[in-house]
Chain A
Amino acid sequence: MTGTDIAVPAAAALALGDDALVLSHRLGEWAGHAPVLEEEVALANIALDLLGQARVLLSMIGDEDELAFLREERSFRNVQLVEQPNGDFAHTIARQLYFSLYQHELYAQLAAGDGPFAGLAAKAVKETAYHRDHAEQWTLRLGDGTEESRRRMRAGLDALWRYTGELFQPVEGLDGVDWTALEDRWTAALGAVLGRAGLSLPEGPRTGAWAAGAGRQGLHTEPFGRMLAEMQHLHRSHPGATW
């Protein structure tokens, strides 16, 4: 990192680290279930990239295992988008598209600055460029594939649309980020991909009425609790064990 003299804003490290950790876990659930072997490897690669990012970010502010396995649901600061269940393949790709576009634009901005996350972001931005490309490639193929694949891609995009507003709420500690410009670039990039795929931007609200503030404040959706129970089960059954 860029030196110990720059204090790491804990809230920001937690937010970015939890995003990566939770999405990594969701992608890990695809292992053994992807449509083809090659896609299995691709999803696992992305999951591993994200887990690597999470480990660096959480280690900046404490013990990564304690933070991952001993926090309750209300202490997690990830956006609600990444905790959404995988659904079918198109649903997973829609989630990947929304999030990887966001993460790539955000890390590009952080890498260009000189804040405490510049070093991490400079490495991660190469990974997120690949994640983004992967999601875009599949969006094009599913959107411009068969009637069935188009229907499913659209359903995934529509179902997750209401979790995208939260992505652009300012994160405490990421002071240099221009969130409005970030959202503009995200929307433009998304619109371009969907246009090429023969799809259009979903309509409707981008935040649920009940979801104001949402994941960044520790308010999560119902499936997240079950995901955490599975993720944390072993650590909680054998506290203090080493592996």
Chain B
Amino acid sequence: MTQNWPLWEVFVRSRRGLSHTHAGSLHAPDAEMALRNARDLYTRRSEGVSIWVVPSAEITASSPDERDPFFAPAADKPYRHPTFYDIPEGVSHL
């Protein structure tokens, strides 16, 4: 069953949302069925307007072992951060 019904990850963009958010996972024999199952499981109350399904096997995740080199920036090197610019007046969205 795990061979014929692989795992899929489901991403749903909500009615007013700007981006797809990971909603959960499910089993399905192929992408078409995965979409339909996702519709049943994750958008039944019209939570979403767009669904992406991706085979879980296609997703490469960062490893917890690499967390430090990946995600811990050198906080003592302020020149790495773009904080030394004067923002011109009138620029409201930056």
B partners with A: yes
Complex Cα gap A133–B37 (Å) = 12
Interface set of B (CB-CB < 8 Å, partner A): 1, 5, 26-29, 32-33, 36-37, 40-41, 44
CB-defined interface of A42-61 with B at 8 Å, one 1/0 digit per residue? 10010000000000000000
Given contacts A137-B32, A137-B36, whether A38 and B41 have CB atoms under 8 Å apart is yes
Give Cα A198 to B37, complex, Å.
24
The answer to whether B36 touches A42 (Cβ under 8 A) is: yes
Chain A residues close to B by CB (< 8 Å): 36-38, 41-42, 45, 133-134, 137, 141
Q: A36-B5, A37-B27 are in contact. Are A133 and B40 (CB under 8 A)?
A: no
Q: A137-B32, A141-B29 known; A38 and B44 CB under 8 Å?
A: no
Bound CA–CA A41/B36 (angstroms): 11
Measured CB to CB, the nearest residue on chain B to A140 is B32
State whether A45 touches B33 (Cβ < 8 A).
Answer: no
Is the Cβ of A42 less than 8 Å from the Cβ of B40? yes
Q: Who on chain B is nearest to A40 by CB?
A: B40
Partner of B1, one of A36, A41, A42, A137: A36
Measured in the bound complex, the distance between the Cα atoms of B1 and A36 in whole Å is 9
List the A side residues contacting B27 at CB < 8 Å: 36-38
26 residue pairs of the A-B complex, CB under 8 angstroms, read A36-B1, A36-B5, A36-B27, A37-B27, A38-B26, A38-B27, A38-B28, A38-B33, A38-B37, A38-B40, A38-B41, A41-B37, A41-B40, A41-B41, A42-B36, A42-B37, A42-B40, A45-B40, A45-B44, A133-B36, A134-B36, A137-B32, A137-B33, A137-B36, A141-B29, A141-B33
- Within the assembled complex, what's the spacing in Å between the Cα atoms of A136 and B39? 16
B66 CB, min distance to chain A CBs, angstroms:
34
Q: Which residues of chain B have C-beta atoms less than 8 A from A45's C-beta?
A: 40, 44
Residues of A within 8 A of B36 (CB): 42, 133-134, 137
Chain A residues in 8 Å Cβ range of B32: 137
**With A and B bound together, what is the CA distance between A170 and B42 in angstroms?**
39
Nearest CB of A to B9, in Å: 14
Bound form: Cα–Cα A133–B41 in Å = 16
| Nearest neighbor of A38 in chain B, beta-carbon distance | B37
Contacts of A42 in B (CB 8 A): 36-37, 40
A164 to B32, CA, bound (A): 28
Query: A138: nearest residue on chain B (CB-CB)?
Result: B33
CA of A94 to CA of B27 in the docked complex: distance in angstroms? 23
When distances are taken between beta carbons in the complex, the residues of chain A under 8 Å from B37 are 38, 41-42
B41 to chain A, nearest CB (A): 6
Which chain A residues lie closer than 8 Å to B28 at the CB level?
A: 38
Return chain A residues, CB-CB under 8 Å to B29.
Answer: 141
Cβ of A134: which chain B residues have Cβ within 8 Å of it? 36
